[in-house]
Each structure stands twice: as C-alpha cells, then as structure tokens.
Amino acid sequence: MVLERVKAKAIRWLEDNRGLVIVLFCLPASFLFDLFIQLRIYLDRKFSTVTSHKQRVQKIQDQVTEWSKLPKSEKKPLCTARPNWLSLSTTFFDKKKCHQVPIDLHDVLSLDEKNLTVTVEPNVTVREICKYLIPKGYTLAVTLEIGDATLGGLAFGVGMTTYSHKVGLYQEAIVSYEVVTADGNMITVTDSNEHSDLFYCLPWSHGTLGFLVGLTLRIVKVKPYVHMQYIPCHSQDEYCQKIMELSGATNKDTKVADYLEVTIYDKNEAVIMVGNFADVDSRSKPKINDVCWFYKPWFYKHVETFLRKGGEEYIPLESYLLRHNRAIFWVLESMIPFGNHPVFRAFLGWLCPPKPAFLKFTTTQAVREMTFAKQVFQDIVMPLDTLKEQVDTAVKLFDTYPLLVYPCRIYDHKGGAPQGQLRAPPKSRLVPGTNYSMFNDLGVYGTPGPVERREAYNPTYAMRAMEKFTRDVGGYSFLYADIFMSEEEFNEMFDMTLYNQVRAKYYCDGAFPRLYDKVKPEIDVIAIGETYAVKKDE
C-alpha cells in the first residue's frame, strides 16, 4: 500500500513537471543520441560505398535463401533487423520471435529528370531526399513533414501530405518496387507487369509480403518558395464548405493550389492554408519567413495568429515541407508546455524536437502503458464530405485541439474490384467525371481534454468509438498508431481479399507475419484502458 502511494505520487510529480524533466534530461540525451545514430549511419554508408546496390541486395537474398533451407521446426517468420525504436510507429512489434534480416540500404540511386522519377533505397529519409532533390529543382510528389521518416517505411505503410488533394496517398507516387520475396528472389513490381496484384497490396502491408530493397518515386518540378495564403474561418460550415471547394471535391475542373490544409483550433475556428510554388522578386522579399529557424514560433502557433485576420507570406520550400517537424505537429506542447515561449526558443529551441527514436529507445513497459492511456496520436482517412461529423466525433471523444485536416484523393483503380487493402470508393462519392473520391486525413494528436483536467477518461471507449465511426463512414485508420479493433473488425475496415490471394501466391504464409498480427499493439490496450478508467473513476 505504501509503495503504491509512493508510485502514484512519483507519477503525479512527473506529470506536473514533465516539461522540466524533458528539458533537463530528454533534450540533451536525445541530442547526443542523435549524434551517435548519425555517426553510425555515416559509417554504414561509407562502408556501403565499396559495394553496389546489386551486391547489397544479393546479400539480403542470400540470407532469405539460407532461412528457406532451415528445418520447418526452426523457421521463424521473417522481419527486418531494424530496431523498433527507429520506427515512427507507436507500437513495439516483438522481433525476438522472428528471424531478423539486416536491410542496410541507405542510398539515393538515381535521378531521371526526363521521366521525373527518383530511385532510392528504402532507408533514405524524408530530410535526406529533400536535401538531395530541392537544390536540383524537384521534390517528391508526396513529402511527409517528419524528417526522420524513411521512404521505404512510408511505402509499406502509408503517407499523406498537403499535395495529396492533387495526387492521392504516397502509394500513388510510387512507380515501382524492388522486393525480395519469401523464396529469396528479387522482383520488380509495377502496376502493369505480372506482379501488378502485389503492387496494389504492398502499401499498408507493413513488411508482411516481402522485403523492400528499392523504390522508384515520382517527383515534381518546383520553385524555391511556397507562397502561403492564410484564410481564417469562423464557423464549422464555413471551413467544411471551403475545403470542399478548394480541394476540387465538387468539380474536377477547379484550379486547385499546390498545397492545401486546414488547422482547426476550435469547433468553429480554423485557418485554411493555400500554398503555391513561387519565385520571389525584390518587392516580395520582406514577406519571406523561414518558419523552421529554431527561434521562430512553432508553425501551428504562427498560423493561429492569422485567425484574427488572414495574410500571406513566402516560405522556403524545404522549410515548408518540414514546417511541422520542430513541434512534431503540436505534440511537443504536451511534453514541454512552455516550449513555445520566446526565451525557451531562443536558448534551447535548437535542441527540439526530442528524437522519436530516442523517446522509443528509452520507453519502458510502464511508460508505454502510461503514455498510451494519457495521449492520443491518430491519423484517420475518411470521406471529406463527412468532415463536420468527423470533427464533432473527435471533439466529443477526445476534446483536444488543434485538429489537422489534409484533403486527399482515394482512387478506384479497378472499377470496384479488389485493389489492395483500401476499397475502391463508392461510385456515389466519386468526383463527377473522375475515378477518385476526395477523402481527408484527420489528425488527432496530444493530450485528451479529460486527462488535462484530471477527469475520468477511458481510452478504450474513446478509441473503439472512433474506430467504429471510421468504419461506418468507410474510412481507414493509419496503422502506425495503436489500434483497438478485433481482427474481425479490422477485416471489416480493410479489404483483405487481394491481400490474402497475394500471400498465397508469393508463399508469405509462414514466411512473414500476417498484417493484423504485425500492427496490433504489443500490450493489451483494452485491458489497460479499462483499468486506467476504473482508477480515474474511483
């Protein structure tokens, strides 16, 4: 009993002083940790220069072939040897139960300026590809805002950005995959060759169909700056209607901006951001704002100032693409409540954000359970015409702001036939005259309101209710985050028809974990959520 009281007081002290703990310990340790990781990656790449891409891939093939020769009793499912803490997923898949294969592939392989594609190895990060492409006048068609995300992780998971209302999800920008299959063969997978069925199932597969060893992605020509227009909205109907119009959801001939997003600060208060590639002449130079400098306000706080009156500015392209990186959207405010204070930014802003890899590396079972119960971090793809209901539901269940909205095309590639884990949108929702429907990412990040107010909060109830709403409107939960669905509910949300066929065709059963088993949380989220809710109610 005494020990429990001491533990409860210690947890309460950590909650009350979490910002101080993070500043004094996590930020410096994270900085040193990142230096070590960068040094290791540099040495890995320096060593890899003595081998070709083909040789590095052959080494992976050889390891898979050796695995295939093991007696059946000794075979464990295959997975990469990449540590869990290097992943941006919130879960910790138990790789000790698998046969781990190192995937030491970190290079940009080629740039095809004629066909507007770039070919990379899977461990190239978003930050690295930005630094490679932007000086040459290009960027990826879909560029995630978090610099540490890998291009391969996005390919086998999912990615979306503010350009997605023009091109769709990250998977729509992939021309081809190089995949090592369960039999040790390396195949090139496109939407038009004999592996087209696999092409449509690799996105959202999370490494359960093969090892990714190469990737060719579409790129777009760009200009040095993004001209940003900030449009304040003061009612829910206003921002819901405007985003439908600006995204082209109601008319395929609408001239849409290059970048489009909404940040919702209150149910009736939002700022729509419209961005277009731009050059800057001498008259416009005073309007340049590099939002990524460490001493500048966090981007979402900067945008909030336009609620009173709209405005415009020019942001350097790389800074725009990584605009949410410093505050991890707005999650950092939950960690360091005073982190956006000008004094903090001036003296310690350069240490932010703490590296996700470091936070995962230092996560214990107790910390994992506590943070799961007291935070929400979800991205959910749903039809844009349900945005009002999305916001109402998220606010009712989580009571946290801001909320992020990115419009995004979801395509019908096969006339309604199975096309991977995402179903073709219903014909009634297609933009007239097209084969796509306009969906959106709803991003819900941070500390739920009841937790902030120390009121009763049941994360199990809240998340299962949000997942049910998502299924009811025909949406999908991003699988990097904790899911609360049973396997039956998971199979209701996602279409596993083609995925199961592909697993059989490429001998994945017994060779790779199944998708649900790979992405389900390693902790009993339902039991922990119920236990936490009971404690709060007592």
pLDDT tens readout for residues 190-229: 999 999 999 999 999 999 999 999 999 999 999 999 999 9
How would residue 538 be classed by pLDDT, with cut points 50, 70 and 90?
A: very low
Each domain of the chain, given as residue ranges in start order, spans: 225-326, 366-412+426-490+519-532
> What pairing do the DSSP bridges indicate for beta strands 211-221 and 174-180?
antiparallel
- What's the fold here for domain 366-412+426-490+519-532? Alpha-Beta Plaits (3.30.70)
3-state secondary structure of 513: coil
Q: What is the DSSP string of 56-75?
A: HHHHHHHHHHHHHTS-GGG-
More confident residue, 434 or 16: 434
List Cα–Cα distances, 417 to 108, 346, 429, 497, 533, in angstroms: 35, 55, 16, 10, 43
pLDDT in tens, 412-468: 999 989 999 999 999 999 999 999 999 999 999 988 999 888 888 888 899 999 999
Residue 127's nearest CA partner among 151, 111, 104, 105 is 151
How high does pLDDT run on average in the chain?
A: 90
Evaluate whether 154 touches 120 at the Cβ level (below 8 Å). no
Evaluate whether 371 touches 91 at the Cβ level (below 8 Å). no
Tokens coding 304: 């909030």
Evaluate whether 93 touches 522 at the Cβ level (below 8 Å). yes
Residue 262's nearest CA partner among 304, 316, 325 is 304
DSSP label at residue 512? B
State the CB neighbour count (10 A cutoff) for residue 57.
20
Residue 178's nearest CA partner among 123, 222, 216 is 216
Rounded percentage of the chain residues whose pLDDT exceeds 90: 69
Question: Average pLDDT in the 173-180 region?
Answer: 97
pLDDT of residue 43: 79
pTM for this entry: 0.90
pLDDT in tens, 284-310: 899 999 999 999 999 999 999 999 999
pLDDT of residue 194: 96
How would residue 537 be classed by pLDDT, with cut points 50, 70 and 90?
A: very low
Q: How far apart are CA 57 and CA 60, in angstroms?
A: 5
Residue 3: pLDDT over 60: yes
Secondary structure of the chain: what % helix, strand, coil (to 5)?
Answer: 45, 20, 35
